[in-house]
Structure 1
Amino acid sequence: MSATGPDEVPAELAAALLPPLDPPPVFDADTLSTWFASLDPVRRGVRAPGTWRAYAVDLAHFAEWCALHDLQPLPAAAETVADYLVAHVEKLSVATLQRRLAAIAVAHGVIGVPSPTDGEHVGLVWRGLRRVHEPGRRRRRVDALETRNLADLVAPLTDTVMDHRDRALLVLGFAGALRRSELSALEVGDVVVEPGRLLLTVRAAGARAERVVELPRGKRLETCPVRSWRKWAEVARLAEGPAFRRMTKGGKSLRPERLGDRGVAEVVKRRTLDVGLDPSLFSGHSLRAGFVTSAARAGVPGVSIARQTGHRSAAALAACVREERPFPGNPAAHVGL
């Protein structure tokens, strides 16, 4: 039975009948988030808030690539979209590219023009790329940055603004088992300082729900989430807006723009290089995998780890573990074999 009455219009159709918006003036993720937020409630209500945030990040990446090649992102030509897919199929997963296509299509619908993703040219290229790259394609497993590695990364950091930012980003990302997109999306207001702990409101891109993550005060000054955040907030004079921000070239001063998810990965790679590790083996996900691996090795129950990470399945949680040797407390050692 339909959820709409005889005189009601389905939400998707009602959204399509609303007047279009003008394209945004610029295409960074924050501006695009504001642009999507300006949609009327009917059109915006068709999708979850997290989906709109994910679309803003996806569209910003597409627009950045267009700018490098002197191409127009919105409205975009079908050839532009097809070339973008070909350029990134070796760098991004098929699932990520599929979400990028969805973001491009939605953005064209918002401005009231046909989407190039609906045309035969993009469709043929997309089907061909999926046929070649999707079957049996294995995701590259990056190495984990465990507790000892985290201590090594932050040990050389000094009292500069950039060093305080990077310390807080690395420590909070590890202790909260955050995805790089979650670190990028954090707002100052999402971080609440309480006696002996931080409470983070974490929003996953594309998810309807958010979770609150507790980060207790650490035993060591250099890896303490509470003290790392408080010092960073103090030197950066954070009052509102993005929790982690970009730096000027050379890292001498702070910029107001949000540090993007690729920027998070670049911090991890730069700091691993600084301590003599191979940066090609690490990414933003290394912090999350490092927390899960360290906690599992310490014998923390999986349900407690999943409460911190937000994993919904044991299989997804297990995929984060980087360990070939059996963990302490392996259940097979306690069943009388």
Structure 2
Amino acid sequence: MTDEMPELAAAGLPPLPVPGAFDAETLGLWFALLDPVRRAVRAPGTWNAYAVDLAHFAEWCTRTERQPLPAEPETVAAYLADHVETLSISTLRRRLAAIAVAHGIIGVPSPTDGEHVSLVWRGLRRVHEPQRKPRKVDAVEIRELAVLVAPLQDTVMDHRDRALLVMGFAGALRRSELSALDVSDVVVEPGRLLVTIREAGSRAERTVELPRGHRLETCPVRSWKAWITVARLTEGAAFRRMTKGGRSLRPERLGDRGVAEVVKRRTLDVGLDPTLFSGHSLRAGFVTAASRAGVPSVSIARQTGHRSAAALAACVREDRPFPRNPAAHVGL
């Protein structure tokens, strides 16, 4: 039912011992002990998410006096049933993948492959999946943005990630738009950046202004200038991939999934749950913050490129999407 890396067993790679603790930090270090072959099977952001997933499963096992690794099929089935009302089907699917991978790493069969778990999983999906609304990721507002960029230092990767996060928030950019940016799309003017936004491989859609920020760490202008200076960028992709470990810059464009992984990795680095955030969190954070500040929806939409009020309102992460209701100001 889940991908348990059978190719690794076929390659005769040695298993790892069961970790001594099951908190996310220890599990992250445990996954880091894998040899390069096994690590390369998945992206770094996936391993980080698996550490959080497995820690959640293990914490539940401790509370219910069950063993997390190796786990019994009945334990996994009970975990699914206990969380189907509070976690999305997609999150539970990834939790199953993390459990399966962990068992593969210690060299034992995965309990997720048993018929009992399969039957429970199919039943839960049939009952719950059609009724669920699409999951909304949490927003990265200015408070969270400041927290994410605070630990960043003077490395090439840190400069890239700071510019990506700050510009993604200030421009309310989709992850595909961040990925598609070229150096030539960003024009530095006194006190601002003018950024031409386009989807990958398409003509220009709109131009947005990113003003100079009051604080150095969240200033789009200074973050961008520092990034292109340290990376020595004069043309081509604005945001690029890094070599393993982030030691140097590669020529390839950072893809939209790479943008999402930057957000998830930086949330994990500051102790937030990366499963609650995605590349869309920056865009949702801007819309929420601007709405709360009373910025007219038409002005917000001019920055975001939304074409309908419903789509714009869906980005707001609070009960009252537009607090300055126009109906309160027309003399009723």
Give TM class, smaller chain.
Answer: 0.5 to 0.7
Greater CA drift, 159-168 or 201-210? 201-210
Structure 2 gaps of 5+ residues are 1-40, 42-88, 91-125
Task: State the partner residue of 2:56.
Answer: none
- Residues 1:304 and 2:299 are matched in the alignment: yes
For the residue of structure 1 that corresponds to 2:278, the secondary structure is coil
Task: Measure the CA separation in 2 of the matches of 1:206 and 1:136.
Answer: 36
Task: State the partner residue of 1:188.
Answer: 183
Selected match of 2:278 from 270, 278, 283: 283
Task: Measure the CA separation in 1 of the matches of 2:172 and 2:282.
Answer: 7
Structure 1 gaps of 5+ residues are 1-67, 69-89, 92-130
**Seq. identity, %:** 84
Selected match of 1:243 from 235, 238, 255: 238
Query: Structure 1 208/326 Cα, relative in aligned 2: closer, same or farther at 3 Å?
Result: closer
Matches within 5 A, 1:1-337: 138-205=133-200, 210-325=205-320, 328-335=323-330
- Asked whether the equivalents of residues 152 and 162 of structure 2 are also in contact (C-alpha less than 8 Å), the reply is yes
- Asked whether the equivalents of residues 167 and 220 of structure 2 are also in contact (C-alpha less than 8 Å), the reply is yes
**1:327 CA drift (Å):** 5.0
**1:223 CA drift (Å):** 0.4
CA RMSD, Structure 1 to Structure 2 (Å) = 2.7
Alpha-carbon displacement from aligned partner over 1:227-252 (angstroms, at most 9, x marks no partner): 00000000000011100001111111
Alpha-carbon displacement from aligned partner over 1:153-198 (angstroms, at most 9, x marks no partner): 1111101110000000000000000000000000011111111110
**1:276 CA drift (Å):** 1.2
Task: Measure the CA separation in 2 of the matches of 1:214 and 1:323.
Answer: 26
**1:324 CA drift (Å):** 1.8
For the residue of structure 1 that corresponds to 2:177, the secondary structure is helix
Query: Structure 1 181/330 Cα, relative in aligned 2: closer, same or farther at 3 Å?
Result: same
- Asked whether the equivalents of residues 166 and 223 of structure 2 are also in contact (C-alpha less than 8 Å), the reply is yes
Task: State the partner residue of 1:80.
Answer: none
Q: Report how many residues are paired.
A: 213
Task: Measure the CA separation in 1 of the matches of 2:310 and 2:199.
Answer: 19
Task: Measure the CA separation in 2 of the matches of 1:283 and 1:326.
Answer: 21
For the residue of structure 1 that corresponds to 2:164, the secondary structure is helix
Task: State the partner residue of 2:25.
Answer: none
How does the TM-score come out when normalised to structure 1?
Answer: 0.58
Task: State the partner residue of 1:29.
Answer: none
For the residue of structure 1 that corresponds to 2:217, the secondary structure is helix
| AA aligned opposite 1:161 | V
**1:263 CA drift (Å):** 0.4
Query: Structure 1 214/132 Cα, relative in aligned 2: closer, same or farther at 3 Å?
Result: farther
How does the TM-score come out when normalised to structure 2?
Answer: 0.59
For the residue of structure 2 that corresponds to 1:250, the secondary structure is helix
**1:334 CA drift (Å):** 3.6
